[in-house]
Amino acid sequence: MATTLSALREHIDATPFVDTHEHLLEERTRLAGPGAHRLQPCVDAALLFCHYAKDDLWSAGMPAVEQERFFSPTVDPADKWAILEPHWRRARHTGYLRAVAESIRLLFGIEHVDSLRFVEVSEEMSRRARPGFYRRLIHDVAGVETCQVNSLETTFCETQYPELLQQDLSLIAFSTGLDRSILDNFGQLSGLPTATLDDWHQVIEWAFATYGPRADAVKSQAAYQRRLNYAAVSAEEARPLFACLVKGEPLTGAQRQALEDHLMRFCIDQAEKARLPVKLHCGYYAGSDRMPLERVRQNAGDLCPLLADFPRVTFVLMHIGYPYQDEYIALAKHYHNVVVDLCWAWIVSPLACVRFVKEFLLAAPSNKLLTFGGDYATVENVVGHAAVARQGLAQALSELVSEGWLDETAAHDLVEPLMRGNAHQIFPIFASHHT
**x-or-dash pattern for Zn ion, window 317-356, by CB under 5 A?**
----------------------------------------
**Which stretch, 95-103, 368-376, 386-394, 427-435, contacts Zn ion (CB under 5 A)?**
368-376
* Nearer of residues 145 and 375 to Zn ion, judged by Cβ: 375
134 phi, psi to nearest 5 deg: -60, -50
Selected from 19, 102, 260, 375, the binder of Zn ion by CB under 5 A is 375
State in angstroms the smallest separation of the CB of 92 from Zn ion.
Answer: 23
Would you say 94 and 52 are in contact if contact means Cβ atoms under 8 Å apart?
no
**Which stretch, 208-216, 325-333, 373-381, 397-405, contacts Zn ion (CB under 5 A)?**
373-381
Residue whose Cβ sits closest to Zn ion:
375
State in angstroms the smallest separation of the CB of 416 from Zn ion.
Answer: 25
Alpha helices in 43-94 (DSSP H): 47-50, 53-60, 64-70, 77-91
What does the radius of gyration of the chain's CA atoms come to, in whole angstroms? Answer: 22
- Tally Cβ neighbours within 10 Å of residue 388: 22
358 phi, psi to nearest 5 deg: -60, -45
* Nearer of residues 18 and 238 to Zn ion, judged by Cβ: 18
Position 102 contacts Zn ion (CB under 5 A): no
314 phi, psi to nearest 5 deg: -90, 120
**Which stretch, 140-148, 226-234, 369-377, 391-399, contacts Zn ion (CB under 5 A)?**
369-377
**Which stretch, 53-61, 350-358, 371-379, 408-416, contacts Zn ion (CB under 5 A)?**
371-379
**Which stretch, 25-33, 39-47, 103-111, 375-383, contacts Zn ion (CB under 5 A)?**
375-383
Report d(CA 19, CA 145) in Å as an integer. 8
* Nearer of residues 226 and 319 to Zn ion, judged by Cβ: 319
Alpha helices in 219-365 (DSSP H): 235-247, 253-274, 293-297, 299-309, 325-334, 345-348, 350-363
* Nearer of residues 103 and 221 to Zn ion, judged by Cβ: 221
Peptide bond connecting 323 to the previous residue in cis, omega within 30 degrees of 0 = yes
Single out the residue of 370, 365, 414 nearest to residue 394, CA to CA: 414
* Nearer of residues 77 and 283 to Zn ion, judged by Cβ: 283
Which residues in this chain contact Zn ion in the complex, by CB under 5 A? 375
